[in-house]
Amino acid sequence: MLELKIKGKTVVTVDKPFITISGTKASETIITWNDSGDILQSPTFSVQASDFIGRFLTIQDTLFDDNGRHYYSNCYIEGAVDFNCGNAPMPILFLRLFVGVLQKCHLRSLSEGTRAITAQQRQSPSKNTGFIFLGCNITGVESTVLGRPWGAYSKVVFVQTYMSNVVLPQGWENWGDPAKQR
């Protein structure tokens, strides 16, 4: 059995489109780091290039999914605060698996309170960005909300996703701005 562990920040830069990173099992391909502070500087794994595919990966605090189309399948993503963030394009059709789609992934919140799983950055109603979680599982250690709006028009969709009792009934937090509640 080959196990790959990367300890450090990993960035797929905007000039590197059409990259696939694939393990054979998420438990054997682990990308980990532990940073805090500025959300743009602290992620463990950042994807800024278009047409990225990630499969069978473990990403530990935080996945920054921004710019271009991205697809994640059978990944394990763990973190405490906004551990899925960015402004990836939303698929026009669910069957066209573009970026911003996480399918059959396990999201585990390490939050020790009411922190959010996602922080989506959509700034305009005309932008076609957002996250889609399709057939995922959400678990955790305490309690969490599904997301909070990093942008004025943030969009996150959960489809056929199992949510354990760690997800609080209100589901969302408006990040201190009641105008973003809708």
pLDDT tens across 44-85, in order?
Answer: 888 888 888 889 988 887 777 767 778 888 988 887 765 665
Q: Which fold has domain 12-180?
A: Pectate Lyase C-like (2.160.20)
**Is 61 an annotated catalytic residue?**
yes
Q: One of 65, 66, 82, 177 is an active-site residue; which one?
A: 82
**Mean pLDDT, all residues of the chain:** 78
Average pLDDT over residues 12-39: 84
Residues 6+ away with beta carbon under 8 Å from 63: 43, 44, 45, 47, 72, 77, 79, 83, 84, 85, 86
1: confidence class by pLDDT, cuts 50, 70, 90: very low
Tokens in use for 165? Answer: 């009792």
Q: Where are the domains of the chain?
A: 12-180
Q: What is the pLDDT of residue 135?
A: 93
Buried b (16+ CB within 10 A) or exposed e, 90-108: bbeeeeebbbbbbbebbbb
Strand partners, 12: 47
Question: Given 38, 61, 66, 177, which residue is catalytic?
Answer: 61
Structure-token pair, residue 3: 């196990």
> Angle 131-136-138 (CA atoms, 0-180°, nearest 5)?
95
- The answer to whether residues 133 and 104 touch, using CB atoms and an 8 Å cutoff, is no
**38 assigned to active site:** no
